[in-house]
Each structure stands twice: as C-alpha cells, then as structure tokens.
C-alpha cells in the first residue's frame, strides 16, 4: 500500500531499498491491538508500559476507547473497522513487528478484520488475551463475537491466555477442579493455538498457571501476592509474553518470565485511585530518578538575553 500525507500526496520512503516492515537496527518490536484504558492501568496503556519495561519498542492499534478508572468502565466507543485496519497496515508496513498481542476485540467484525490483516502480514508470533469482562464487571466482548474468536482468531494464535471465566466460555463448561482445568486446556488447544495458558488467579490458593502444548502439561507456581492492586494483571501478563517472544525467548520461557514480571509488578504496586489500583509496570526503574540529571544543565545551554526597552 502507498502511504499519503495530510495533503494527499504520497510520502517518499527515506530509504527506497528498505522492505516493508524491515527492522533498521535490530531492536525488538511488539504491537498491541486492544482497547484504551483512560485510567492507564490496563489495555493499550498497560501493554506499552510493559513493552518498554522489557526493552521492546511498542506500537499500538486502538480498537476501542473506554471511559475507565480504577472503579469501573463508564463508556465504550468502538473504533471503526476501517480505522483499525489502517492502523495495522501502516504500522506493519513501516515499522513491522516481531510479535503481536491482541486484547479487547469487542465485535465479530473487528476480530475477523484483525485476523485477516495479521494473516496477510505473516506475523511470526501472536499472543491472544481473550478479554471478555473488565475487572469491574463491564462486558468487553459481545456475545456474538465469541464464536469468531474461537473459529477465526485462535487458529492463528501461538499462545492464548484465558483466566478461569474466559476458559469456561472458550471450553464450554465450568472449571471447578484441576481436572476440569486440564480438560479445558485440551479443548481450547483443539481450537488451534499452540500453547494454552489457563491462569489461576481466580482460583483459591496458589495462583498456579496451567500450560498445555498439545503433549504435556506444565504448571508455573508462585506465592499469591495479597493486594487489591490487581487492575491490568491479565493485560500485563500477555504483553510480557509478547515482549519476550519479540526478544527471541522460547514460548515456555516467555510464559515463565511473564509470570515473574507480573508477580514483581504486584509486589511493587501502590494504591492510586479509589478502586482496584493497577500493578506497577515500572518496578525495575523505580529507584532511577531522571529529574536531577535533566535539571543539572549539562545537556542544554541556557543563553540569557537582555531585551532593550523601547
């Protein structure tokens, strides 16, 4: 496709020999296709913070805009399908992506169009976070879109990361035991993804994640972090997997690393707002204060001028 400037004239490539999406300097790149969380704790905002924290250049495709804070979701506006498609195409043509994560894809048509474009661009790694309901209970996936997710998107996924309620919808039955979780993982794997991660945060006891790759089960276990600051944990987990895949980490190691990242982000979280506060995506740089260096004056020359009175 040819990109055009605001005046309608074609933009000329800086390097006419570059291929679409070619990586200039080898820096890993990841794309998130999801909804915007105006409170900054989940969705696109959480994904970009996670990409940055893990050393990956992040790009975004906004599928919906929400009026949201730590207490709930108050309004949702879907982005028109043609704008979602355009975001994917222009970014992948120019910048490319080593891995892509999908989050809130609220309608059947958005799911179908996103799948079509990612298939056309040949994305090497796709992580699907099957977002269905917000932390406060707001529905983020239309009922008619569930079948599209199962039949259209999941066959292209490398990794899918449902929590227990989402896994119940995808598998078609309730999960009340470890045996149920294993049966659900097998059923969801049958929909096409290479790896199924059933997250354990909604279950009592240790928040173990169950991973199934079609041949074996692997359980990743951590101690539960007791906190109310859990907003955006699912988005952050899937985004961390995506970032690590973009950096060349194997799928199993990426899942383990992402769980460690979320655990540390929970441990370093702090209360902000009156509801469920988000995890702390910047825990690794908390002790680094850039302000003194920025104000020291070494990078910028100040030239005071005297203006003569007229």
Instruction: Report the distance separating Cα 294 and Cα 271, nearest Å.
Output: 28
Q: Give the confidence band of 275 by pLDDT, cuts at 50, 70, 90.
A: very high
DSSP letter at 254 equals H
Q: Which of 40, 43, 96, 234 is catalytic?
A: 234
Q: Is there a catalytic annotation at residue 58? A: no
Nearest to 184 by CA among 206, 162, 204, 205: 162
Q: Is there a catalytic annotation at residue 234? A: yes
pLDDT in tens, 123-148: 999 999 999 876 666 677 888 899 99
Task: Report yes or no on 129 lying in a domain.
Answer: yes
Q: Is there a catalytic annotation at residue 293? A: no
CATH code, 251: 3.40.1190.20
Count of structural domains within the chain: 1
Axis-axis angle for helices 233-246, 251-267 (nearest 10): 140
Residue 200 and residue 164 in contact, taking contact as beta carbons nearer than 8 Å: yes
Task: Report yes or no on 15 lying in a domain.
Answer: no
Task: Report yes or no on 268 lying in a domain.
Answer: yes
Q: Give the confidence band of 289 by pLDDT, cuts at 50, 70, 90.
A: confident
Q: Residue 68 forms beta bridges with which residues?
A: 73
Task: Report yes or no on 9 lying in a domain.
Answer: no
DSSP letter at 95 equals T
Q: Is there a catalytic annotation at residue 161? A: no
Task: Report yes or no on 161 lying in a domain.
Answer: yes
Q: Which of 235, 242, 259, 263 is catalytic?
A: 235
Task: Report yes or no on 225 lying in a domain.
Answer: yes
Residue 118 and residue 128 in contact, taking contact as beta carbons nearer than 8 Å: no
Task: Report yes or no on 13 lying in a domain.
Answer: no
Q: Give the confidence band of 2 by pLDDT, cuts at 50, 70, 90.
A: very low
Q: Is there a catalytic annotation at residue 122? A: no
| 217-220 own/partner pairs: CB under 8 Å, 24+ apart | 217/182, 217/185, 218/252, 220/255, 220/256, 220/259
Q: Which domain holds residue 251?
A: 29-278
Nearest to 63 by CA among 42, 41, 36: 36
Task: Report yes or no on 283 lying in a domain.
Answer: no
Q: Is there a catalytic annotation at residue 230? A: yes
């Amino acid at each position: 496709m040819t990109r055009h400037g605001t005046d309608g004239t074609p933009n000329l490539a800086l390097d006419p020999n570059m291929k679409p999406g070619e990586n200039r300097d080898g820096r890993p790149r990841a794309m998130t296709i999801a909804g915007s969380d105006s409170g900054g704790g989940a969705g696109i905002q959480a994904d970009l913070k996670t990409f940055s924290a893990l050393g990956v250049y992040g790009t975004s495709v906004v599928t919906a805009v929400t009026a949201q804070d730590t207490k709930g979701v108050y309004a949702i506006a879907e982005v028109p399908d043609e704008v979602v498609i355009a975001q994917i195409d222009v970014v992948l043509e120019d910048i490319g992506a080593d891995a892509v994560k999908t989050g809130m894809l609220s309608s059947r048509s958005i799911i179908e169009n996103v799948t079509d474009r990612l298939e056309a661009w040949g994305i090497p790694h796709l992580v699907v976070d099957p977002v269905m309901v917000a932390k406060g209970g707001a529905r983020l996936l239309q009922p008619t879109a569930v079948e599209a997710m199962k039949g259209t998107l999941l066959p292209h996924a490398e990794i899918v990361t449902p929590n227990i309620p989402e896994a119940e919808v995808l598998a078609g039955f309730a999960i009340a035991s470890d045996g149920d979780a294993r049966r659900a993982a097998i059923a969801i794997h049958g929909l096409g993804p290479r790896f199924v991660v059933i997250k354990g945060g909604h279950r009592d006891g240790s928040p173990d994640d169950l991973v199934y790759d079609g041949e074996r089960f692997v359980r990743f276990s951590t101690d539960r972090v007791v906190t109310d600051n859990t907003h955006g944990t699912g988005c952050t987990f899937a985004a961390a997997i995506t970032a690590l895949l973009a950096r060349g980490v194997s799928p199993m190691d990426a899942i383990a690393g992402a769980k460690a990242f979320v655990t540390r982000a929970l441990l370093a979280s702090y209360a902000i707002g009156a509801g469920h506060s988000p995890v702390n995506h910047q825990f690794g740089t908390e002790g680094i204060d850039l302000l003194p260096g920025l104000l020291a004056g070494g990078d910028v020359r100040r030239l005071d001028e005297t203006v003569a009175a007229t």
